[in-house]
Structure 1
Amino acid sequence: MRTLLWSVAAAFTLCLATPAAAQPEDAYAPARAIVADIGKIVTPNGVQETFEVTLGGARQVVNVRGADRDNPILIFVHGGPGAVEMPFAWAFQRPWEDVFTVVQYDQRGAGRSYPLNDPKALAPTMTVDRYRDDAIELIELLQKRYAKRKVVLLGHSWGSIVGLSVAMKRPDLLYAYVGVGQGIDFREGEKVGMAWTRAKALVAGNSEAVAAIDALAPYPQGDFTIAKADGWRKYAIPYGSLIYNKPDLTYYFQTPRLSPEYSEADRQAWGKGSEFSVTTLWPRLANVSFKPVRKLDVPLVFLLGRHDYTVPSPVAAAWFAKVKAPSKKLVWFEHSAHMPMVEEPGHFFAALLRDVLPLTKDKK
C-alpha cells in the first residue's frame, strides 16, 4: 500500500497503522459520541445532514452542517486525489459553521463514496473534466435544496484543480473561488518541490535523499507515475512540506478515529478509495496546467502556506500575480505549509471572515 500521495492521501496509511483487531471500533465509540454531542447543531434554523446523491452517474456522499441555513454555502472540495476531508473536518470546521453552511463531499472513488460504485466501471470516468462537472452538478443540486443563488467554492490541493476548473467554466454559480494549497501546473509543481527537497537534503547532509531524488530523473518529464511522485515526497514531508515544523504526523492522522461521520468500515473504505483514486488519476494529470489562463470572471482568494512544497505555493503565487479577476486577494500563512486550516486555524477562519464572507453580499 502506498504511503505518500499528492496531498494528504497518506493519511489513510497512518490512520490504519494500528489494526482494527488491536484497536476495536468500540474503543473509540465513547469519544466519538462526545465529539458528536459537542458538535451537534441545535440552533432553530440550523442544518446537519448527510445524504447520497448521484453526480455524473456516480453515487457520492454529502455532509452539510451550519448554524443557520440562511447563511451562504461554502463547499469544500477535498484533495488527494482520494484524500477526503470529511473525517477531519470536526477538528477545524466548527467555527466556520456559524457563518457558512459548510458542505463536505466524498468525491467519486473516495472515502464513503468508494464502496457505492464499481471501481472498474468508475475508473474510465475519472478525469479532471468529470470531477469538475460533478462539482457543478452538486452546486446546482444544493442551490435548489437550500434555495441559494450562488455558493463559495473552496478547493484544497487536488481539489483546487477541480475548483479552479469550475470557476473557469461556471463563474455564474460562484460568489468566489478560494484556493488552498493551489495547484497550477503539475509538472512545474513537481520540479519545484523536488528541487526544494533536494536543497534541504543537501543542507542536512542527507546523501540518501539526494541520490534518491537524482535517480528519479527525468521525472517530472517523461513518465508521470505516482511511484516517482512518492519517491521524493517521502523525503519532503519530514522537512515540513506538508505540515510546517511537524515531521511526525501520526497524531494528526488519528483525527478520523474520533470523527462522528466515519465508522471503522468507512475508514477502511477511505484507505482503499485513496489508493484507487490516486493510482487511477495521477498519470492523467501530467499535462494539466492553468498557466495559459489569464482571466477569471469570479472573485479570487488564495490562502497559501508560506512553507508549502507539497504543492509549491511559489508557483501558485506567481500565477496569481498575473491573472485578472473582478477582485483578488492572496493571504500568506507564515507558519503553515500545505494545511493552513489545520496549522493556523484561527488565522484561517479570520481570513474567511475578512476576505471571503463579504463577497457573498446578499448571502443567498
Structure 2
Amino acid sequence: MNPIDYIEQNKELLFQTYHDLHRVAEPSWEEQKTSQYLVNRLKNAGILVKTFPTHYGIVAEIPGQSDQVIALRADLDALVQEVDGVVKVNHSCGHDAHSTMVLYSALALAASGMNPKHTLRFIFQPAEEKGEGALQMMEDGALEQVKLLFGVHMRPQFEVPYSHASPVIIHGSAGTVKGTIKGRQAHAARPQDGINAIEAAALIVQKLKGIKLETKLPYSIKMTQLHTENESSNVIPETAGFTIDARAQSNEVMDILTQRTHEIMEQVMEESGAFVQWKMEEYVPAAIKNEKAIKFAENAIKDILGEHQVVPVCVSQGGEDFHFYTVKNPGLPATMIGLGCGLAPGLHHPKMTFQLEALHYGAKILTKTIMLALEEY
C-alpha cells in the first residue's frame, strides 16, 4: 500500500491515537504510559523497537538495504502547569500531536512493505521540556549512522497559518540561570554590619539591563525570580535565590550573553561583598539551517498541501532541544518542520487548542519527506 494512502485510510484511528496520548500526559522523565502505548503500536506493526533501562525514550527502525539512516524525531513529555486554578500535567506544547504524526509515518511506511534504500529510524525522546532528552538519546546511540534528520513542531496561527507549513523553524537559543546570593545578616537599624542579598540582586538586575550587544538579532536577558527566606521586616536578608532568563537568536550571541553574565557576577561579588553562586540550566541551542534537509521538507509540503501553502521560514524566539542534534553533530543535514494547525492562543498556554485535521496532513508531510529523501539521497 502507498504510505500516503495508508494515512488517508486510517485518518480516524490517527485522531483516536492523539486522544489516547493526550489523556496520558506525563512530565519529563516520567513518560512511562506514553512510551508503552507507542511501543505496543510499533511492535504490533512489526517494527523493530529498542527501549532503555534508565528512561522512556524509544528508537524504532525499519531496516534498509544500507546501514545509513534517515531519522524522524518526536518528543513525549508534557508540561506541569496551572489549569483553571489546578496544577496538573498538561499537553500544551503539542508533543502528543508530534508523537502521533511520527507514529503514523512509521506505521504507514511499514505497511507499504517497501525495502528502503536506507534504514528508517523513528526517535521518540523524553524530557524535551527540560532540554535534556536529545542529549540523553544521543548518549544512547540514537544518532548512530544518521545521515538525514527531520522533526516537526506545531506552530501558533500567527507564525504559520492553518493548512500551511514551513520547512524550517529557526528557534533561538534559551537558557535559565539559577543562582544564590550569600550576604551577611544584620539588624535593619545597623545595615552597615550586614551585606544585603537583595541589594546585591538589584545590582545584578542593573548590570544585566546595561548589556548592549552590537547585533541585529533579537536577544534578552532578565531576572525573572527573586526570593528570600527572611520573614522579619527589620532584618537585613543574608540569602536570596534568583532566576535569570536568557535568550538569543544565535548560538554566538548566547555565548556572549553567558560570558557577560559571568563577568557581571564577578563584578557584583567585588562591589557588594556578597558571594554569588550560579549555573546555567535548561539550556537549548539555536537552530542551524541546512538547505539540503529544508529542500526535502519543502518539496513534501508542496506535494501534500500545494505550492502556495509553503511558509519559507518560521522564526520563533522559543527554544527546542532538537537543535542539540545538529550542534553536537556539525554538518548533519537536519530540519524541523513547522506545522500550521490553527493553534491558539499560543504554545504553553494552559488552554491551547488546534485543528485536528492538521494531524492528518502533518503525518502525510512527514511521510512524504522520508519518501523523497529515500528517492534522492
The structure where strand makes up a greater share of residues is: 2
TM above 0.5: no
The structure where helix makes up a greater share of residues is: 1
| TM-score normalised according to structure 1 size | 0.33
| TM-score normalised according to structure 2 size | 0.32
Larger radius of gyration: 2
